[in-house]
């Protein structure tokens, strides 16, 4: 009897000590791509993507391609967003909001896709972009010429292209000659295209920085090599047998407001309605920049010709965002956004590969197939 009692007690003890199997994570919740909160969060995510760039042009939202939400109990939600984007004419150094920038004409169009994970916790007034990745391509020259044989076509950004450099230097010289005092120097050419008008014409965009010399000075100190660009100029150079035509306009960047610590202000929260109660900021500490990149790929036709021997068609927009590949999820530490020591521990799941619901993609701002990723 004593032996039987011991066996029963040992069995009960083993059962108590045994761990229950881990429960699978809750599935991602599909969201409508035209839902108002999804559009607001998508706009904020794109705003942060643009803010995180040091080079290139501001991207605008053409449509939400796919959207999922992963509720985090009392820690808000993680949104998994796939965004179709268009390049605008605003340089990222201008710090302009994407809604204030115009998209380019079709023969200058650069389009693509961004994947982003965005955290929102309305009660705690937390908005944060942990990670993103974007892939962009120009509209192919073949399509441009088919639709508009006389339109300018992009020119490859080759430093040895003397025609492009000549268009930039000649147009900047014109601007400096017409400037009453300040003088500017070329930083780099950011875009170039060519067209036959009454002769060969080159159109360029380029960054400029302020020269230490004013127009009235004959001598001045050398310019610091690390001085920041202060504006974006657009110039053109057209040559005929009898005359040369030069034009130029420049847009100078506004000085940016700084917050304590020398960092730019946090995410603009005006696009998402956050509750007024419990409005204290979650954390006074500096929030690290989101992890991600914007990749510029060549004309798809050029890439296809390079891969023609392998007979492998390249993927148009191979954008990935894999914070984890574990189907059970992994911890995402966002505790720096919160005050409490036990807060900000979220679970992140693998990014969905394909849309699983019929409310996406949403309506596009520019509906031309020419600038819509597949």
Cis peptide bond prior to 74, omega within 30° of 0? no
pLDDT at 217: 62
Token pair of 283, please?
A: 């954390």
Q: Quick one: tokens of 242?
A: 């009898």
Position 227 scores a pLDDT of 81
The pLDDT profile of the chain, 374 residues, written as one tens digit per residue, is: 554 455 444 554 444 444 444 555 668 999 999 999 999 999 999 999 999 999 999 999 999 999 999 998 888 999 999 999 999 999 999 999 999 999 999 899 999 999 999 999 998 889 999 999 999 999 998 998 898 998 998 887 777 789 999 999 999 999 999 998 899 999 999 999 999 888 899 999 999 999 887 766 655 655 566 688 999 999 999 998 889 999 999 999 987 655 444 444 345 444 566 655 444 444 444 568 889 999 999 988 887 765 555 556 678 899 999 999 999 999 999 988 888 766 778 999 999 987 767 889 999 999 999 999 98
138: exposed, middle or buried (Cβ count in 10 Å: 0-12, 13-18, 19+): buried
User: The sheet that has 231-239: what strands, in order across it?
Assistant: 153-154, 182-196, 200-214, 231-239, 244-252
For residue 213, the model assigns a pLDDT of 74
CA pair distance 221, 216, nearest whole angstrom: 14
Give the N- to C-terminal CA distance of the chain in Å, as an integer. Answer: 74
pTM of the model: 0.84
| Max Cα–Cα distance, the chain, nearest Å | 118
Q: What is the pLDDT of residue 259?
A: 45
What three-state secondary structure class fits 341? coil
Q: Evaluate whether 128 touches 119 at the Cβ level (below 8 Å).
A: yes
Give the model's pLDDT for residue 353: 84
């Amino acid at each position: 009897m004593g032996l039987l009692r011991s066996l029963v007690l040992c069995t009960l003890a083993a059962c108590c000590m045994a761990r229950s199997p881990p429960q699978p994570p809750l599935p991602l919740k599909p969201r409508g791509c035209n839902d108002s909160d999804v559009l607001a969060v998508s706009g904020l995510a794109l705003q942060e993507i643009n803010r995180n760039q040091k080079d290139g042009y501001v991207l605008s939202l053409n449509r939400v391609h796919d959207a999922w939400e992963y509720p985090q109990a009392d820690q808000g939600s993680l949104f998994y967003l796939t965004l179709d984007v268009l390049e605008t004419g605003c340089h990222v150094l201008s710090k302009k909001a994407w809604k204030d920038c115009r998209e380019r004409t079709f023969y200058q169009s650069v389009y693509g896709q961004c994947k982003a994970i965005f955290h929102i916790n309305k009660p705690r007034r937390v908005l944060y972009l942990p990670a993103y990745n974007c892939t962009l391509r120009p509209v192919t020259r073949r399509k441009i010429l088919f639709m508009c044989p006389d339109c300018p076509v992009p020119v490859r950004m080759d430093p040895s292209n003397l025609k492009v450099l000549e268009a930039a230097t000649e147009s900047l010289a014109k601007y400096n000659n017409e400037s009453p005092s300040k003088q500017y120097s070329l930083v780099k050419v950011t875009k170039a295209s060519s067209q036959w008008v009454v002769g060969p014409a080159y159109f360029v965009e380029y960054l400029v920085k302020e020269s230490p010399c004013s127009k009235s000075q004959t001598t001045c100190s050398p310019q610091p090599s690390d001085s920041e660009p202060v504006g974006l100029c657009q110039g053109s150079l057209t040559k005929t047998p009898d005359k040369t035509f030069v034009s130029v306009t420049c847009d100078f960047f506004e000085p940016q407001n700084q917050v304590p610590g020398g960092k730019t202000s946090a995410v603009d929260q005006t696009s998402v309605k956050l509750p007024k109660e419990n409005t204290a900021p979650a954390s006074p500490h500096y929030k690290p920049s989101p992890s991600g990149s914007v990749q510029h790929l060549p004309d798809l036709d050029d890439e296809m010709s390079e891969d023609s021997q392998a007979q492998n068609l390249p993927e148009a927009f191979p954008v990935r965002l894999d914070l984890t590949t574990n189907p059970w999820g992994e911890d995402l530490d966002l505790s720096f956004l919160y005050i409490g020591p036990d807060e900000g521990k979220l679970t992140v799941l693998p990014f969905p590969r394909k849309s699983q619901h019929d409310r996406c993609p949403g309506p596009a701002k520019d509906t031309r197939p020419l600038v819509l990723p597949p």
